[in-house]
Amino acid sequence: MNRTFLIARREYAAYAMTVGFWLSLLAFPLFAVLGGAVPILIKSSETVPAVALVEDGAATSGLAATVQDALAVETSRRRANALRQAAMAETQTTPDAGTEAADRVREIAESDGFDAGMAELRRVAPIAAAAWREPKPPITLAPAPAVVLAAAPGKARDDAARTYLSAGKKDRTVGAIVFLTRADGKPAARVWTARTNDDAVEDFVRDALKSANRREVFGASGVSPEVIVTSEQFRPQVTAYSPKASTGGEVSFRDRLPMLMGFMGGFLLWSLIITGASILLNSVMEEKSNKILEVLLSSASPTEILTGKVLGVAMLTLTMLLAWGGMGVGALAVFQPDYAAAVAEILIQGGMLAWFAAFMVGGYLMYAVLFAAIGAFCETPRDAQTLMGPIMMILTVPIMIMVMTMKTPDAPLVQILSWVPFFTPFLMVARLHSNPPLIELIGAMAGMFAFALLMVWLSGRAFRAGALSDVKLSWKSFGAAIKGGGN
């Protein structure tokens, strides 16, 4: 037993005492933050297409004005939503009150205008109001090129647009030209864009012409334009209720928080287990290639070496969990103290932390001994690819299924895969927010631990055979080692 703990301590110190380990420890939360920020940065850096509107053909008068009106309405809607998001950003330390205040800001902006909405934002969220930025419109309108207007309606204008948009970006003032026409008496358009993959203009013009056709049809039936505008601007007040809500009625962000925590917990568990098992694989592989494993075998049994290594890397994994968890708790406590209290309540009173720990132990044990056994047959990463390729492909399955657990945690496919031992730790943690039956939790966990013990026995035989021989890794040699145990 002393030799086992000595090996475990050596394994832990070999990584924990290096600068690279702590840098990689900090890299995960850093890249997680960057991963969330990248879509925002991409969206903010997108250019707004400049569009020229040309009424082309007979009976098209007024269509350009309709598109301009649609642009004004969409711009106002985006501004109102941006005001709401700004209010949420500052008032969300009290989630329910923050949502009500943010909704009120948007309602005032929609009913009384942007200036009134901004005044309300300054009242409820002065910091956000000072930093508020104008949202980008879907498109901007620009005068049509003279060469296009000079051409005759129809094919000649299409040819002129093709020639104009084929020129370099510096030689043109617009990136799209929209010819507003009529087809069978209804609004239509031909959209010319400089880029073939740019469908933003097409989508906006289609929606605008739908609105134009609706107004024409209603107007022909005697409906006044004011009534049409009012009906299009109507926003129904819809409130979600559920008997499973914390209040027994209206659903709040607090009720949706366990869903997010379950998904994040499953992904965190996947990252921890795979990282720890990969460290173990590389450690065993490196020691075998450098003949260190042979020296260890002269002083300890294969079982003691395997147990010590698994235990040492387990302490490394626990260190990573404590570090990441500490950073997350610290960030929540500083920036969102009310959310921190809600998270703590769910983790402790909801039992999520206890289940997470149990599934982490079983999951780590399964993958750690398997990866260690594979490493005992390998001296280079290329040797390990024979088995690691299929294993890593299988490990992508729970990542894809975990996305489903956010909306449909009780879907038959999710429930069935939750009983597959290799997937159990990740999927069951991700499903905890739906309160699966206790018998299902205990049954899946029992199956996982039973399979983990089987993996310990089989991988122990394979590790012993691989450590004591120079046989190259293959499915055949790995299977033979499990059957014969190196005898």
Please name the residue that has the structure tokens 């992508």. Answer: 396
**CA dihedral angle for residue 271, residue 277, residue 280, residue 286, rounded to 10 degrees:** -90
Residue 45 lies in a domain: no
Cα–Cα distance for residue pair 105/81, rounded to 1 Å? 9
**Cβ atoms 84, 124 nearer than 8 A:** no
- Do 326 and 463 belong together in one domain? yes
- Please tell me the distance from the alpha carbon of residue 151 to that of residue 169, in angstroms, as a whole number: 22
How many Cα atoms occupy the beta-carbon half-sphere of 123 within 13 Å? 11
Q: Are residues 121 and 194 in the same domain?
A: yes
- Assess whether 348 and 473 both reside in one domain: yes
Same domain, 211 and 112: yes
Q: Which of 198, 233, 268 is the last residue of a domain?
A: 233
pLDDT in tens, 79-117: 999 998 888 776 655 444 467 788 888 889 888 888 999
> Do 472 and 387 belong together in one domain?
yes
pLDDT for res 478: 65
Asked if 434 contacts 461 with a C-beta cutoff of 8 angstroms, the reply is: no
Q: How far is CA 336 from the centre of its chain?
A: 21
Residue 129 within a domain? yes
Dist CA 359 CA 418 (whole Å): 12
29 & 99 share domain? no
pLDDT of residue 481: 64
192 with 321, same domain: the answer is no
Going by C-beta distance under 8 Å and a sequence separation of 6 or more, which residues neighbour residue 402?
A: 263, 266, 267, 270, 426, 427, 430
Contact 30, 21 (CB under 8 A): no
Task: Answer yes or no: is 240 within a domain.
Answer: no
The pLDDT assigned to 418 comes to 94
Question: Do both 173 and 218 map to the same domain?
Answer: yes
Give the 3-state secondary structure of 127-146: HHHHCCCCCCCCCEECCCCH
Is there a domain that residue 88 lies in?
yes
Segments in the chain below pLDDT 50: 94-97, 486-487
Domain finish residue from 172, 198, 233: 233
Q: What's the domain range around 175?
A: 52-233
Q: Note whether 101 and 166 are same-domain residues.
A: yes
Place of tokens 């008496």: 185
Give 287's Cβ-side CA count (13 Å radius). Answer: 24
Residue 164 lies in a domain: yes
| Residue 46 domain flag | no
- Give the pLDDT confidence score for residue 96 in this predicted structure: 46
Sheet containing 140-141, strands listed edge to edge, beginning at the edge strand earlier in sequence:
140-141, 50-55, 176-183, 186-193
Q: Are residues 211 and 317 in the same domain?
A: no
pLDDT tens-place string over residues 216-227:
888 888 888 778
Would you state the pLDDT for residue 192? 93
Q: Look at residues 233, 267, 302 and tell me which one is the last residue of a structural domain.
A: 233
Whether 154 is covered by a domain: the verdict is: yes
Please tell me whether residues 476 and 350 are part of one structural domain. Answer: yes
Give the pLDDT score at 333: 80
Structure tokens at 207: 């929606």
Instruction: Measure the CA dihedral 250/251/252/258, to 10°.
Output: 150
Report the number of distinct structural domains present in the chain: 2
Domain-located, residue 243: no
| 182 and 264 in a common domain | no
